[in-house]
Every structure is written in structure tokens, then in C-alpha cells.
Amino acid sequence: MDGICHRPVTQPDSMTKTRVLTGITTTGTPHLGNYVGAIKPAIAASQDPSVQSYYFLADLHALIKCQDPGRVQESRLEIAATWLALGLDTDNAIFYRQSDVPEITELTWMLSCVCAKGLMNRAHAYKAAVAENEAAGNQDPDKGITMGLFGYPVLMAADILMFNAHKVPVGRDQIQHIEMARDIAGRFNHLFKGDYFSLPEAVVDDRVAVLGGLDGRKMSKSYNNTIPLFVSEKKLLKLVRKIKTNSLEPGEPKEPEGCTLFQIYSAFATVEESAALRREYQNGIGWGEAKTRVFEYLNEQLREPRERYQALMEDPGHIEQVLLKGAERARAEAVPFLDRLRQAVGLGRFV
């Protein structure tokens, strides 16, 4: 032989494909806004054989915001069941709990040791917390701020860099965190003289709708205006009826643009179906009737996944198995990579 180390002809898929990774913080119950903004596009990507996707329950991140163990536990199960019920392809996508991959926490420490404190001072979430303290006239600007909150972007960088993700689909509010991950990755590569990490890119899809909630503001757990994805039929009807509309009477033409009810419908319906409702608006459909239409449509779309969701929620043992299998696949990559990183920083084995 010529002494050159040839690459094996077939590399593991995950090494040659584009790697797409995203995490879901497990503090809430998935709602229609989550589905349209994040879950639906992620599930579609999980079915694309040309990408290797990594989706995980960011349960270590959940501990930053939530010290209610029951809530964290419940949310982890609900989110996992939701993704599975909606058709996540777990043969293709690697689906795991962050806390099942201890290599991530170890990497967090390594990254913390190269990350400038000043970088973290500039993080939006931290700055907002400080600003709130200042506005409240607190002596200590860091009052109530934990090291978890302060170091949040480092944990997130570790999530991403552990798998050398190329693309990270996120909401706008997370772009800064991806930039920080790039920054930290670059610094590590430079200090330890190697291309250990590839630099991740945020992917923000402006085409996906940001859904309005019951009160017309963005649908969000923090505004308490959400429509959970898998509530009972009765509850769904009640919530759809609660969506805020204006006081126009039946018979008066209505404007679909800017109407939350219309927007929610459109996020689920086909182009033709939306156009049909648009015409009904112009023809003066009454709000009561419009709400019934939207409810019936959503209910029809959600019926099957709701049944699957309920069955999954009754079988946590199955979900546990799926997640443990995902963690095993994740660790098959994380363990050898962390070994390499340990060597890079001087923590390798002696022999």
C-alpha cells in the first residue's frame, strides 16, 4: 500500500449529510403555534433522506426556567408524545432527551472555559432580566438571576457543537444564541489548533406563520393565550369560540387580513380552502358561523393525531424506549467526539 490512510468508501450517513439540529425546551404543553412554527417543518425535514436531523427535548434548559419537577416531567412526556403522534420519523431523525446525553454537560464545561464572560453579559435573556431588576429599583441588578440563566447560551452551544450541526432551525429570538455558538466554536478551534467544530448557521423561516393566540397577540405560553394541540373536542370548540374577533354583524363584509381566526385556519388549510373562507368573509359570514367552520376543520385535521397522542400518553414505557434508542444513537457520535475533545484540551488518557 502507499501508506496513505484512505477514507472508508462508505462513511456513516450522519458524516456526509447536512446535519440539522434543534431543541425544544420542555416547560409547556405544545400548542397550535408550536405546531405551525416549529413542529410541522421539523417533521417534514425528518422525512427528508438527504439530511440527518437531530431533535431533542431540551430538558436541562427547562430547569433554568422551571423549578416545578412535576411540570418538567409532564412537559417532557407531552412534547415527546406530540412529536411522535404527528409523525416524526425516528428511524431517520435522532430523537433524544438532552439529559440522556451526559457528554453535552461535559462539553458545556469545556466551552465555558473558553467563552468570554463578556459575551454572556450581552445575551438578550440575561440583559432583559437585568433591565427588569433595574426598572424595579433593585439594588442588585443580578437579583434572582441564576448561573443557569447566565450560562444558557453555552449549554445551547454545546447542544449544537456536540453534533457539529450545520443548520439550526430556530425562531428569531434565538439567532443571537447561534451566533454565540459560532463565536465559542471559533474560539475553541483557534485555541486548540484544529477544526474540531464546524460553525453552525441559524435557519429562520420567514414563510412559516407566527400564529396569533386567543387575544390576538402572538400565541405563546407566556401570554396564556394558547390553543393546546390535543385538547378534547369539547375544549377545542370552547377555545375557538374564545378567539377574539371584532363586532361586525353577520351580513357585513369582514377583513381576513389581520384576523386571528382566519390566520389560524389558513395555517392548516390548503390555498384553495383559505381562498374559499376569504370569499365567505367578503360575503359577510357571521363570526359564530366562521368559528364553527374553523373548529370543524381543525377538529377533523387533529382527530387522528389526537388519538395517537392519547394512546402514546397511556404508554410512557414505549416513549421511554424510543427516547433511549435515540440517546444511544446520539451517544454513538457524542462519546468518540468528546474523547477527541478531551485529548485536545489535555484530558486524554495517559496510555
Site residues, ligand TRP (CB under 6 A): 21-23, 25, 58, 61, 156, 159-160, 168, 170, 174
Least Cβ distance, residue 168 to ligand TRP (angstroms): 5
Buried b (16+ CB within 10 A) or exposed e, 99-109: bbbebbebbbe
Nearer to ligand TRP, 22 or 263 (CB): 22
Q: Give 253's contacts (C-beta < 8 A, 6+ positions apart).
A: 281, 282, 283, 284
C-alpha 84: how far from chain center: 14
CB of 321: closest distance to ligand TRP in angstroms?
A: 23
Nearest distance in Å: CB 125, ligand TRP: 9
User: Closest approach of Cβ 157 to ligand TRP, in Å?
Assistant: 8
Using the minimum distance from each CB to ligand TRP, give the nearer residue, 55 or 281: 55
C-alpha cell at 142: 443580578
Give me the least distance between CB of 280 and ligand TRP, in Å please. 36
- Asked if 37 and 208 touch (Cβ cutoff 8 Å), the reply is yes
Minimum gap (Å) between residue 160 Cβ and ligand TRP: 5
Cβ proximity to ligand TRP, 21 vs 323, nearer residue: 21
Cell numbers found for residue 195: 477544526
* Nearest approach, Cβ of residue 1 and ligand TRP (Å): 42
| CA-to-CA dists, residue 12 to 15, 163, 304, 305, 333, angstroms | 6, 13, 35, 33, 10
Phi-psi region of 3 (alpha: psi -120 to 50; beta: other; left: phi over 0): left
Chain position whose Cβ is nearest to ligand TRP: 23
Q: Which is nearer to ligand TRP, 77 or 237 (CB)?
A: 77
For ligand TRP, which is the closer residue by CB, 152 or 262? 152
Of residues 22 and 266, the one with the C-beta less far from ligand TRP: 22
The CB density around residue 1, as the number of other CB atoms within 10 Å, is 5
Report the C-alpha gap between 280 and 40 in whole angstroms: 27
Residue placing its CB nearer to ligand TRP in the complex, 61 or 97: 61
Radius of gyration of the chain (CA): 23
- CB of 170 vs ligand TRP, minimal distance in Å: 5
Residues making up the chain, counted from first to last: 351
Whose Cβ is closer to ligand TRP: residue 103's or residue 159's? 159
